[in-house]
Structure 1
Amino acid sequence: MNAEQIQGNVDVVIVGGGVAGMACAIWSQRLHLRTMLLEAQPRLGGQLWQIKNLIYDYPGVICQGGEECYQHFFQNLQYLQVLYSLNTEVEGLDTTKHLVQTNKGEVRTNYLVLATGARPRRLGIPGEEVLYAREETYSTSEQLERFTGKRILIVGGGDRAFEGAYRLLNVAKSIQIIHRSEWLRARAEYVEPVLQHQDVLLRLNHQCVKIEQAGEEKIVWIEGPQGISKEVYDFVLIRIGVEPYLPLALPELRTDGKGQLIINQFGQTTVPWVYAIGDLVNQPAFSAIAHSVGQGMVTAKHILLQKEESEEKERRSYHDQ
């Protein structure tokens, strides 16, 4: 059920409507916890909408892509009548009153689950934001025809970089891949056919330092062992992985030396009533639909246990008076 206004009291507020958030909402509702799911975007699903290939490694169902997989999740949400709100941005959190403040109102909650996921890692160089402003974050599977006969620069050395290059073989005019180190992280099934192709050039120990738009072309400054070169491409695809995305500043939550939120095996942060799950806390190497679903279930069950323990303490305290 889509809520237009945010108000009242609930047991659990879940921020983020991707796989982990939806799974946690499904399990919380199933466990009879009053649940509200908040999503900043116009639709639920998160990164599922970016998956265009066959999904065959999520046990129990084979989907043609992320959209079909999302429909299965949404069917569960509807069946359980989970309350959710779209286009809802969390603007603040009153940790003393357990108030979640949004652009649509505020709600009091006993527990908060952060499931805001991850976003593409940025290079942090001049001109990069222009690519995002122009929405030039193309999918090589869904928008393959855009790259026909074009000069492509791919930045990155992992699976996403080489999987994209693999799809562009025999489509693009030329493909250059630059990686800042001499070690590739991508799987051999992508690396080998890509590097054997005559139209592909791999340049290790190189990095992009500036991008400039010139009409429909991109002028790119690339730094390598021999200095900086100025080159022209039709498309620049930045594929350097993802990073945790938490749009809300929560200084009360402790992080480790790498800036990762500290959680226990239940997803519980250093603030006991606040949890974090999904790609917000997962290492990229272990990012998977199945993993995030499992985290959502574990967190929901732990919240129920915490709630029951709290209620039992209150009953004992009442009887002792």
Structure 2
Amino acid sequence: MEHVQVLIAGGGIAGMSAAIWCERLGLSCILIEKTDRLGGQLAQIHNEIWDFPPHIYADGTNLLEELQSHKVLRSLQVRFGEALTSVDPTKRKVTTTRTAYQTDYLIVATGVSPNQIPALADCSKVLAPWFSTTAEAEAVTGMDIAVIGGGDRAAESAYNLSRYARTVHLLVRSAHMRARSQWRERLSTLPSLTILWETEVAACSERDGKAVLSLRSFRPDTPSTISVDRILPRIGVHGNVDGLDSLLGEENSRYLPADNYQQVKGTEWIYAIGDVTNGADYGSLSLAAGQAMKAVKHISLQLKEQ
């Protein structure tokens, strides 16, 4: 079993920042990343990034290119294609898809993944979670579109797509939207948009090149089915906590609970940083980088006391 001083799980902005701070504070680390590249969700950010000082970046790829030129990240020991499968909190043992580690400290920076709608699991008309309605909206020109969700991202997607689509149906599970008032006001001006309140997708079939959505709703004015060319679910995200069930706490949320020092509650050697602990409401590149610093700094201070 390999011994590691600091094992970092996840190669997004949080994990990369943690690795930089390990180098800064003289700690040895290994970073594991389940995909074949660093960057996490950065490559899926297609809009301008103006709130991650000091620069303004054209998109996430532009920021990632600059990060990859960092001297620490160029020499960083990264093990791609490796993901956490289990953690033994009492033995400080971390098992992955490839091996097992005896670790002094574990930093979990595994990020989030989009929630799924079971009824759409086999539907070929569902757009990918990383479909950008900022950069790729023209691809739906003249189509009938269904957007599913009631938050900011769903509202923004419906608004952006309505500029090109023939019609847009926005399916909202509740009787009101969680989206900010600015988005709700924008949606109210769109003649091609229909909002179906208190509506969920019960089933999906495909006919004549279209997706036929069977709808479930208590409202008498909601149709039983709608036919669309493409479907874009925007129903939120969950933390990538596979193999970490023992750390989720009694509430069993899909995010790792962390204290003010980013330590996972109930442990002394496990830390959580970035979206896997923040969730969507506080998802932020700046926050993830700051939490990485705090976690590694806390580890360094603990080692000085030993």
The residue aligned with 1:47 is: 41
Moved more, 110-119 or 96-105: 96-105
Moved more, 215-224 or 72-81: 72-81
SS of 1:161 mapped into structure 2 = helix
The residue aligned with 1:273 is: 269
The residue aligned with 2:7 is: 13
Unaligned 5+ runs, structure 2: none
Q: Which has the larger radius of gyration?
A: 1
**1:9–1:80: structure 2 CA closer, same or farther, 3 Å change rule?**
farther
Unaligned 5+ runs, structure 1: 1-6, 311-321
Alignment of 1:113-262 (within 5 A): 113-123=107-117, 125-126=118-119, 128-131=120-123, 136-137=128-129, 138-214=131-207, 216-224=209-217, 225-226=219-220, 229-252=224-247, 254-256=249-251, 258=253, 260-262=255-257
Q: Deviations over 1:7-31 (max 9, x none)?
A: 7432110111111111111111211
1:277 Cα deviation after fit: 1.3
1:182 Cα deviation after fit: 2.0
**1:275–1:240: structure 2 CA closer, same or farther, 3 Å change rule?**
same
Number of residue pairs matched by the alignment: 302
**1:37–1:145: structure 2 CA closer, same or farther, 3 Å change rule?**
same
1:243 Cα deviation after fit: 1.5
The one-letter amino acid of 1:297's match is M
SS of 2:293 mapped into structure 1 = helix
Q: Structure 1 residue 69 and structure 2 residue 78: aligned?
A: no
C-alpha distance in 2, partners of 1:31/1:80? 18
For the Cα contact (< 8 Å) 2:241–2:254, is it kept in 1? no
1:288 Cα deviation after fit: 0.8
**1:274–1:255: structure 2 CA closer, same or farther, 3 Å change rule?**
farther
Q: Structure 1 residue 81 and structure 2 residue 88: aligned?
A: no
1:94 Cα deviation after fit: 4.3
For the Cα contact (< 8 Å) 1:120–1:241, is it kept in 2? yes
Task: Give RMSD over aligned pairs.
Answer: 2.3
The one-letter amino acid of 1:245's match is N
Q: Structure 1 residue 301 and structure 2 residue 297: aligned?
A: yes
For the Cα contact (< 8 Å) 1:255–1:261, is it kept in 2? no
C-alpha distance in 1, partners of 2:77/2:186? 47
1:41 Cα deviation after fit: 0.8
**1:198–1:135: structure 2 CA closer, same or farther, 3 Å change rule?**
closer
Match of residue 22, structure 1, among 16, 29, 42: 16
TM-score, normalisation: structure 1: 0.86
1:258 Cα deviation after fit: 4.1
1:279 Cα deviation after fit: 0.8
**1:129–1:77: structure 2 CA closer, same or farther, 3 Å change rule?**
farther
**1:161–1:298: structure 2 CA closer, same or farther, 3 Å change rule?**
same
Moved more, 99-108 or 167-176: 99-108
For the Cα contact (< 8 Å) 2:16–2:73, is it kept in 1? no
**1:196–1:228: structure 2 CA closer, same or farther, 3 Å change rule?**
closer
SS of 2:15 mapped into structure 1 = helix
TM-score, normalisation: structure 2: 0.90
**1:239–1:79: structure 2 CA closer, same or farther, 3 Å change rule?**
closer
Match of residue 38, structure 1, among 25, 32, 38: 32
